[in-house]
A and B are shown apart, each in its own frame.
Chain A
Amino acid sequence: GNSVTQMEGPVTLSEEAFLTINCTYTATGYPSLFWYVQYPGEGLQLLLKATKADDKGSNKGFEATYRKETTSFHLEKGSVQVSDSAVYFCALLYYGGSQGNLIFGKGTKLSVKP
């Protein structure tokens, strides 16, 4: 079946540290991949996406590359800020029948200390 596995948190970093949040997936066919971010007390916001192998999604200094050979979509940022503290969700979109279905990982909580 289709599934998403994220590294478990919480992840605690100092400001300006390098961030990697691992995400791997299992899917039939060629899904689209997404990272969503949920800031404290807010809903989900789309952070970035990639729709095919070797695509790189990027936004706000975050980036992730769709790696078909390793079935991965790891999220990276070179220098995190306190304002990046949030929960990050990796998600996979696959088509079952006539509609798309979004499957989420369990989320990784990131805390950035000044």
Chain B
Amino acid sequence: SAVISQKPSRDICQRGTSLTIQCQVDSQVTMMFWYRQQPGQSLTLIATANQGSEATYESGFVIDKFPISRPNLTFSTLTVSNMSPEDSSIYLCSGWGQETQYFGPGTRLLVL
């Protein structure tokens, strides 16, 4: 199975600040995604991270709020910008490989 790591694992942030989450995948992954899991909820796809170009965002998510980079095949970042308490969630990096989608351990974000 693919190995996906994320950092930080958790953070507590003040409203109005930004946080960048890093994701590293192994070479078996071809596509990378970012998901949000709000408290007690299921997962919602934020965007597909495209290597060397702008990410593809799902309805309800915009680049100004969630800028994403993927400079190479195995690394991506998600920034949560100008945070508010409503952004308190788990953010999960995901990768597609070997006909299966794998998930990182998640970043638990609390915005005060």
Contacts and interface: CB of A to CB of B under 8 A. Distances in A.
A93 B105 CA distance: 21
Interface string B27-42: 0000100000000011
Contact of B96 (A36, A42, A45, A100): A100
B104 A99 contact: no
B66 to A, nearest CB: 18
Nearest to B103: A44
Contacts of B104: 43
A106 interface: yes
Contacts of A105: 42
B89 interface: no
Nearest to A90: B42
A66 interface: no
The majority secondary structure among interface residues of chain B is strand
A93 B42 contact: no
Contacts of B63: none
B105 A104 contact: no
Size category, A interface: 20 to 34
A42 B41 contact: no
A46 B105 contact: no
A34 B1 CA distance: 15
B14 interface: no
Interface in A44-72: 44-46, 49, 51
B23 to A, nearest CB: 11
Given A43-B92, A44-B92, A89 B43 contact: yes
B56 to A, nearest CB: 9
Contact of A99 (B31, B41, B90, B94): B31
A42 B1 CA distance: 17
B106 to A, nearest CB: 4
Given A102-B45, A105-B42, A36 B99 contact: no
B103 A45 contact: yes
B29 to A, nearest CB: 13
Nearest to B96: A100
Chain A to chain B: the 6 pairs with minimum beta-carbon distance, closest first:
A43-B106, A43-B105, A44-B103, A104-B42, A106-B42, A104-B43
